[in-house]
Amino acid sequence: MKTAVVLTSVLVLAACAREPDAAQPRAGDASDPVVSFASDDAEMNRAMERARLSLDEFDSRIRQPPSRQQDIGLKGRFEQHGTVEHMWISEVRIASDGYHGILQNEPQIVTGLKMGDAVVVPRDRVSDWYAIEEGHLVAGYTMRIVHDRMSAEERQQFDASAGFTIDD
């Protein structure tokens, strides 16, 4: 089974980390590239597991944001009829049934949802989280893999427009 990740999810983070810019790619554009990976992609699965194992840090950052934190978000696994799509949410709130937030991507596969919808991501359906702190990416485990797998040209374009750095 293939799993889809909306690449502009990464680019949405760039937009969130700085003031909007007319040239900045936006989620939901018809030109949104989608990155697919196999459900047995070991590196991506380890990254998602690492994100879930570090949710206590995410929760702490939601409850008491560090003064240097500029942004924070969470990626969830959405499934419909055996098809999976991982998408970012913002305005995250912790609740007894998981994380509530606003969908930041226009779904490419899962129907019945649209960008801007209020959604719930159960804790066991979290596939990543990120924070931007003093212009540096914190966590963002799947984002780092997507970034590493970009061509040199794509990586250069992303790095130039992101508004934050992805350190090793």
Averaged pLDDT, groups of 10, the chain, 168 residues long: 43 36 31 68 96 98 97 96 93 98 94 96 98 97 94 93 90
Asked if residue 54 belongs to a domain, the reply is yes
User: Number of folded domains in the chain?
Assistant: 1
CB atoms closer than 10 angstroms to residue 33: 13
Asked if residue 168 belongs to a domain, the reply is no
Domain that holds residue 18: 2-161
Asked if residue 12 belongs to a domain, the reply is yes
- What separation in angstroms does the CA of 107 have from each of 85, 104, 168? 8, 9, 30
State the DSSP H helix or E strand holding residue 83, giving kind and residue range, or none if neither: strand 83-95
Give the β-pairing of 83-95 and 98-103.
antiparallel
Asked if residue 167 belongs to a domain, the reply is no
Helix count and strand count (H, E) for the chain: 5, 8
Interaxial angle between packed helices 8-16 and 152-161, expressed in degrees from 0 to 180 and rounded to the nearest 10? 20
User: What is the pLDDT, as a whole number, of residue 77?
Assistant: 96
Asked if residue 138 belongs to a domain, the reply is yes
User: What is the pLDDT, as a whole number, of residue 26?
Assistant: 32
User: What is the pLDDT, as a whole number, of residue 34?
Assistant: 64
DSSP H helical ranges for the chain? 8-16, 42-53, 55-63, 141-149, 152-161
The total number of residues written for the chain in this structure: 168
User: What is the pLDDT, as a whole number, of residue 35?
Assistant: 72
Q: Say how far apart CA 24 and CA 12 lie, in whole Å.
A: 9
User: What is the pLDDT, as a whole number, of residue 164?
Assistant: 94
CA geometry: angle 95, 101, 102, nearest 5 deg: 165
User: What is the pLDDT, as a whole number, of residue 11?
Assistant: 40
Q: Smallest Cα–Cα separation from 107: which of 93, 117, 98?
A: 117
